[in-house]
Structure 1
Amino acid sequence: MGGNLFSDAGRRQQLLTVGFASVAHAYAHLVILLYATVVLILEDKWSMGYAELFALSIPMTIMFGLGALPASWLSDRWSPFGMMALFFFGVGISAIGTGFATNPLQMVLGLGAIGTFASIYHPVGIPWLVDHSRSPGRALGVNGVFGSIGTAVAALVAAWLGSRYGWEYAFIVPGLVCVGTGMLFLFVGWFGWVGNRVEHSVRISGPGTSDIKRVFLVLAVTVLCTGLIYQITAFSLPKIFDERLDYGIGASVLGVGGLVSVVYALSAFAQLIGGELADRFPLKYVYLGCQVLQIPVLALAYILYSPVLVVCAALMVGLNVSGQPAENALLARYAPPSWRSRAFGAKFVLTLGVSALGVALVPMVHGTVGSLDPMFLIMLVFVTLSAAAATTLPVYRFGNGKPKGETL
């Protein structure tokens, strides 16, 4: 990184790096989830069933995860800054193009392109952020809030633009905003005001080989399970609200989008809390607690058919995402610095790619039983497996709560 973190130039670079990384995180989740609400409009516009239309988004969710490995490899070989610029422009142009789709094939291709370019963010942006932060847990928490904000406004943006101007604008307008941000990013980067090549600012003594193997094995299970829960919730919540809250504000597409936005807005700051806890307490207990507490909340959500479901859904999402700072901190701690980006790439192949199988379950379950109620039981199975696996993690503190002898 150019400039010490404690100098004025270093602080400016740190703030701008965290700022652009956080905005990009919001964009990544926003563009991926636009279609989950747009599909409710297309049911009438294209005269197709929900399950058939929803299936068009499955390639996008698969590419959102599978693209993480090549993106991380390119970041290590080329430039984190260059990859982030490619993210902004690639996502923006793809979203604009999707807005001009006139048939299912064009929609699949447009959504697939969005997923491919959006996949750049997580394996590139998060290690880029960690390596340019003095307090990684706090930075990850702030970054997570922006990701949740992107998820929160996606349904509302899609519903408002789609209902007022047409579904096409639900893609075109966010695409233009993303391209504009990319131009600003290039301008700031030209003056060297944001970080580029990682210099491994987190300097800690290396963990033992047995701990590394154990952590990576456990995280393979927990990352997949929590990713499945996140994907299922994000893509099924609009339809669940549409079916269960069929009165009042939930009676329209805009009302459904508003309720989904409320859920993710309420849960957004959970990652700030998770980030602070990750800096102060052993990561194992922070991570495990977030898994265990989801079990009763999911069980309660399964039986609710009233507006209380909105509050319960916010708790579901909040607990799911509040463990992510600890999860990312564990990966940053135990992944060797020389291939940290690729480690994050592998993580997001699991959490966003393989877990896209959970998204595929949504139209399958709805087409089979006529509702999405069984999805809560499926998520209960996943979170129970994740909690059981997390109990075997080694105990380690990260950030401000680090043990003696460990330096950051």
Structure 2
Amino acid sequence: MDRNDRVVTAFAMLGHATFHTYELVLPIFVVIWLEAFSTTAAFLGAIVGASYALIGIGALPSGLLADRFGSRRLVAACLLGMAASFGIVSVAPTLAVLTIGLLLWGLAASLYHPAGLALISRGTKERGTAFAYHGAAGNVGVAIGPLFAAVLLAFVGWRAVAALLVVPALVATAVGLRLTFDETAGAAARGGDDGTADGDQPRDLAAFVASSKRLFTGGFALVFLTGILYGLYYRAAFTFLPDILADLPLFDPVTAFDRAFEPSQYVYSGLLLLGGVGQYVGGKLVDRIRVETALLGGYAVLAAIAIAFVPAANAGLVPLLAVAGLLGFAAFAIAPINQEAVSAYTAAESRGLSFGYSYTAIFGVGAVGASLAGVVLTHSTPAVLFAVIAGCAAIAALVGASLRSRSAHAGSPADAASDD
């Protein structure tokens, strides 16, 4: 990687780590909020699901803005907005105010992924490696956020923990704005246009509709479908996972130094940390094999893990830890594979738009997974929930197989779209 690749990647890594610090600390708080606000898993799941859905709903306009104005300002606005919204969460006196804070967080967070991923896709020459580092940084946030919260919750209340979580976004903003880089160097090196405001961007509704039709005429439609299925799997699996683990006799609370510790929260943080390794491996993998093959294999593994989760929990601690670790690794290894698929099936000038659609699928439509998990766990069992998410992964594997077959006949993974 040259200097510009490294600086672009570092900037995106800051944003990604901060985004995920907030995103997956929410399930840690869910366990506490169920009691603090005297609500049900179904109702709270709907609220958290709505906040996640706003990430997807806002992703499409964010992608358009990234194509027109560049990514840097959008990422900074995202970081500041997430800090402000968590400030509201920390002082929420009622469930209604908590809901407002979470929804505002979802709106602010929606700015990150289309802008950050379009930046990597257009700004770096070694795209797969950049996605790998970017993904690994996200999992540092994924693991540190819940671990930070779990440790502090043993000593202080949840409101103090939420207030302290404002600090990472402010620090990341200050550091990130000091970095300088060329947002379009990678696309230029590959012979694509720069994808900025002077490029072929939709400037009115008719142009937007035309650009969207072009985008969905090729293989990107199937990539979009895998995004929906991944979002459903991801949200359904992780939103209530701390609660599922806490209900297992294996993870009864432990008292030490007159403090109660929840082993389940540390297991949850540990499996998320393994996701950082998965993100790195997934990003490196798509630099070496066809992205369609990686999609097929990755989703097949996720289906097998979901099927094995409840039997492993019933078998004892060691089998459960093994399958939980594989879940953390594989669920995040697929993310850079999805991102490379979006890049492979779209042209450089529409990367912001394509990532906007992709994250509308993952975070918008996929957010239904959080509500689905809440409803299933309220009325049924974790075994049913994991059977449902195994089905999502199995369908995504079949979509990957279809893309692999199409690309084999076309001779290129992106014949349906002009690549950069």
How is 1:6-405 mapped onto 2 (pairs within 5 angstroms)?
6=2, 11=3, 13-186=4-177, 188-189=178-179, 193-196=180-183, 200-201=187-188, 203=190, 213-248=217-252, 254-305=262-313, 306-307=316-317, 308-369=319-380, 371-393=381-403, 394-395=406-407
Shift of 1:372: 2.7
Secondary structure class of the residue paired with 2:48: helix
**Mean Cα displacement is larger for which, 95-104 or 13-22?**
13-22
Structure 2 counterpart of 1:235, one-letter code: T
Q: Distance in 2 between matches of 1:74 and 1:238?
A: 36
- Work out whether residues 16 and 134 of structure 2, in 8 Å CA contact, stay in contact via their aligned partners in 1: yes
Q: Distance in 2 between matches of 1:20 and 1:85?
A: 10
Task: Specify the alignment match of 1:399 in structure 2.
Answer: none
Structure 2 counterpart of 1:314, one-letter code: G
| Structure 1, unaligned runs of 5 or more | 397-401
Instruction: State the superposition RMSD in angstroms.
Output: 2.8
Q: Distance in 1 between matches of 2:275 and 2:249?
A: 20
Q: Any idea what the Cα deviations from partners look like across 1:36-91, whole Å, max 9, x if unmatched?
A: 11122233433434444343312211111111011111222223111111011111
Q: Distance in 2 between matches of 1:284 and 1:183?
A: 39
Secondary structure class of the residue paired with 2:246: helix
Q: Any idea what the Cα deviations from partners look like across 1:169-198, whole Å, max 9, x if unmatched?
A: 232112122112212222x15xxx234467
**Mean Cα displacement is larger for which, 261-270 or 299-308?**
299-308
Q: Any idea what the Cα deviations from partners look like across 1:342-384, whole Å, max 9, x if unmatched?
A: 1000000001110111111122112212x43311000111111
Shift of 1:220: 2.2
Shift of 1:259: 0.8
- Work out whether residues 132 and 336 of structure 2, in 8 Å CA contact, stay in contact via their aligned partners in 1: yes
Q: Distance in 2 between matches of 1:179 and 1:197?
A: 26
Secondary structure class of the residue paired with 2:402: coil
Structure 1 counterpart of 2:14, one-letter code: V
Secondary structure class of the residue paired with 2:165: helix
Structure 1 counterpart of 2:245, one-letter code: F
TM-score, normalised via structure 2 length: 0.84
Residues 201 and 244 of structure 1, relative CA distance in 2, 3 Å threshold: farther
Residues 196 and 45 of structure 1, relative CA distance in 2, 3 Å threshold: same
Structure 1 counterpart of 2:242, one-letter code: P
Secondary structure class of the residue paired with 1:323: helix
- Work out whether residues 59 and 108 of structure 1, in 8 Å CA contact, stay in contact via their aligned partners in 2: no
Tell me the matched-pair count: 385
- Work out whether residues 267 and 317 of structure 1, in 8 Å CA contact, stay in contact via their aligned partners in 2: yes
Residues 195 and 248 of structure 1, relative CA distance in 2, 3 Å threshold: farther
Q: Distance in 2 between matches of 1:250 and 1:363?
A: 27
Residues 153 and 53 of structure 1, relative CA distance in 2, 3 Å threshold: same
Q: Distance in 2 between matches of 1:228 and 1:101?
A: 28
Residues 277 and 58 of structure 1, relative CA distance in 2, 3 Å threshold: closer
Structure 2 counterpart of 1:347, one-letter code: S
**Mean Cα displacement is larger for which, 197-206 or 322-331?**
197-206
Q: State the percentage of identical aligned residues.
A: 22
Q: Distance in 1 between matches of 2:28 and 2:107?
A: 20
Shift of 1:20: 2.0
- Work out whether residues 215 and 354 of structure 2, in 8 Å CA contact, stay in contact via their aligned partners in 1: no
Secondary structure class of the residue paired with 1:134: coil
Residues 42 and 62 of structure 1, relative CA distance in 2, 3 Å threshold: same
Residues 205 and 182 of structure 1, relative CA distance in 2, 3 Å threshold: closer
| Structure 2, unaligned runs of 5 or more | 194-212, 409-413
Structure 2 counterpart of 1:351, one-letter code: I
Secondary structure class of the residue paired with 2:286: helix
